[in-house]
Amino acid sequence: MRRRQALAAFGTLSAGAIAGCLDRSPLPLGPEANPHPRRVSIVHIGTLPDDVAFAIDAELPTPTVTDRHPGTLVLTARNLGAKRAISVGVDGCRPFNRSRGRSENGGLWLYGARDEPEPRVDGRWEYDPDGPIGYPAYGCARRVWSADESQTYVYSVWDDPVTEGYYVPGTYRWTHSVSTAPPESEMDAEPTSRATWGLELRVEDA
């Protein structure tokens, strides 16, 4: 089994280039005991002020990390107001996309369920790239949500390849800025409301 150690921080490159590169060097390890299982639980789900009129809920349908699968997180977002442009997108602009999938201060990484990286460290739910980790540089405009529209986002909960350890027990946090504007607004229009939504997960030995 190979273990890699990341040494560099996120960077910013021009549009069309690769942003957020992490330089990594190999750190070989000897045989290790099976690190599974681990259990992931939800510690805190944030709420947004009434003037934002938007809600994001979270659940863990697969809370245990085993040899066969990582944990699974599902977010459900709902527009509680009228038709508006909201800074919560889908697909490549979903919450926690690209480098934002990494928890604050590192430790865990949320990948879209169809975007898990390859290859991974043998026997572990941890990305093992042969070189820097890069992210496409593009911007995300606010998406127009219909009244009472909802969207579901499914994530795999992986270990963070940038930090030492593996599913280290502790609490991990992510945040997402939610802003709203009239549906016909330009991309850079001033928001009519703005707040930050947060999520905290805890990892424990199962």
Poorest-confidence range of 14-23, 29-38, 107-116, 191-200?
14-23
pLDDT at 32: 53
Most confident of the ranges 16-20, 55-59, 131-135, 189-193: 55-59
Backbone φ/ψ region at 66: left (φ over 0), alpha (ψ -120 to 50), beta: beta
pLDDT at 185: 87
Q: Kindly report, residue by residue over 17-67, the tens digit of the pLDDT.
A: 333 344 333 333 434 557 899 999 999 999 999 999 999 999 999 999 999
Q: What is the mean pLDDT of the chain?
A: 86
pLDDT at 29: 43
Share of the chain above pLDDT 90, in %: 73
Burial 165-195 (b: 16+ CB within 10 A, else e): ebbeeeebbbbbebbbbeeebeeeeebebbb
Nearest to 86 by CA among 204, 205, 194, 202: 194
pLDDT at 87: 97
Q: Kindly report, residue by residue over 98-108, the tens digit of the pLDDT.
A: 999 999 999 99
